[in-house]
Amino acid sequence: MRVWLAGGMVGVMRWMDVLVVGYYTVQITGSALITAQMLFLRMLPMFLLGAFCGAWAERFDRRVLLVSLMVSMAAMYFSLAGLAVLEKLELWHVAIGVTLSGVFWSFELPVRRTMVGDIAGPLRLPRAMGLESATNSITRASGAFIGGALLDFVGIQGPFGFGACVCLIGACLIAGVRRGIRSEGIGREPVLRSLTSGLRYIRQERVIQAVLVVTIILNLFGFACVSMLPVIGRQNFGMSALQTGTLTSLEGLGALCGATLVAAFARPSQLARIFAIGAGTYIVCMGLFAWMGLLGGTALIFMAGGFLFIAGFGLSGFGSMQSGLILARAPSNMRVRVMGVLAMCIGCGPIGILNVGWIAETVGDAAVAVITVTSIGFFCYLIANFLYPELRRRLT
């Protein structure tokens, strides 16, 4: 329960941060490319450090590691809030903050989710991952809404101060955890050797390979488009920060509904199918959302919100089964290592973020950039399904 609640706390901080930093950047610069670069800085550490973080983190007490990281994040947010109150906050301060946030997420994903899997056990794993995904969906919706409201009514210091408090609460929750705090059978194996053995295991497991390939595709051509949501909201729909946050929260609301169904009805044999269908749904609906932004008009905002809601359904299937498949297939001594490689694959997102930002800056329309990128992504997704028929089969 403590690990789950802590994940919810830091999830609110994460999605609030994404919306607030994106809207704040486009507000003061007016540049889609610079806005994309801020999300690039957040994702870059996962690409560079993700696999090493997973291999290195298994040498330590997971609880102590997470508490230390959360306290450090709280100090960073308090510093940014203080600079904002003193009216000395500059964009490069925020850029440093989002980079440090990326380092935090490089550790949080493999460490905390492995703790969830160890505590739940194999029989309860689908429901545990469904609950984890549902929690992420709630925080995705509430974080965007809270961030937009605080930015509109308090200023940039509001979201940063709120994030600091949330990190401290999460640290207190993790401090009381007693189960799943260490990897089984792990001594002082060198990090590179640990990483190599994890990669060697992945070469033998096609289901995990499929998860990693689809994860790369989604982060290059799907999730990279999240950086353009504040731009489309402000420039194509003419919305305020609160309105943009409300629109963005519909994705999280859809993901909550989908994750609730996954937690209630998913069976271990269905994990791969749910994962694959969710990934395809997300890419298609993000492209349709951007199409509504390209056409413009107040009436189309409601249709755009509907597509974001359906995209959230896809996100719930993809997100819950992404970790669930790895934790279900990998032995306990490989879980953190493989989850670290997953973090690195998620970290491929910076390439996609720069790509969609560059296209938006070149053509002068973020909606066109998102439509272009998601079209390429869906084609790659179809190829991955052809190469890995395991995604369409019932698992044993």
Supply the CATH number for residue 206's domain. 1.20.1250.20
Q: How far apart are CA 343 and CA 366, in angstroms?
A: 27
Segments forming the whole domain that contains residue 261: 2-176+190-392
Residue 8, domain member (yes or no): yes
More confident residue, 183 or 223: 223
Q: What percent of the chain has pLDDT over 90?
A: 15
Query: What tokens were used for 189?
Result: 């194996």
117 falls in which pLDDT band (50, 70, 90)? low
Confidence at residue 337, expressed as pLDDT on a 0 to 100 scale: 74
* pLDDT for residue 382: 94
In a domain, 226, yes or no: yes
Residue 352 inside a domain? The answer is: yes
Q: Confidence band (pLDDT; 50, 70, 90) for 309?
A: very high
Q: What is the pLDDT of residue 1?
A: 64
Note the pTM of the prediction, 2 decimals: 0.70
pLDDT on residue 186? 47
Identify the pLDDT of residue 343: 72
Residue 376 lies in a domain: yes
| Confidence band, pLDDT 50/70/90 cuts, at residue 124 | low
Looking at per-residue confidence, does 121 or 376 come out higher?
376
Higher pLDDT, 197 or 284: 284
The verdict on residue 183 lying in a domain is no
| Within-domain flag for 184 | no
- Per-residue pLDDT of 17-35, as tens digits, reads 888 888 888 888 888 788 8
pLDDT tens by residue, 290-302: 999 888 766 688 8
- State the DSSP string of 103-142: HHHHHHHHHHHHHHHHHH-STTHHHHHHHHHHHHHHHHHH
Q: What is the sign, positive or negative, of the torsion defined by CA atoms of 343, 345, 346, 352? A: positive
pLDDT in tens, 336-355: 678 777 777 877 777 888 88
Specify the pLDDT at position 163. Answer: 87
Does residue 185 lie within any of the structural domains? no
Position 107 in a domain: yes
Confidence of residue 334 (pLDDT cuts 50, 70, 90): confident
* In the predicted structure, residue 257 carries a pLDDT above the cut 80: yes
pLDDT at site 372:
94
Q: Give the least confident one: 75-84, 88-97, 251-260, 378-387.
A: 251-260
Our count of domains for the chain comes to: 1
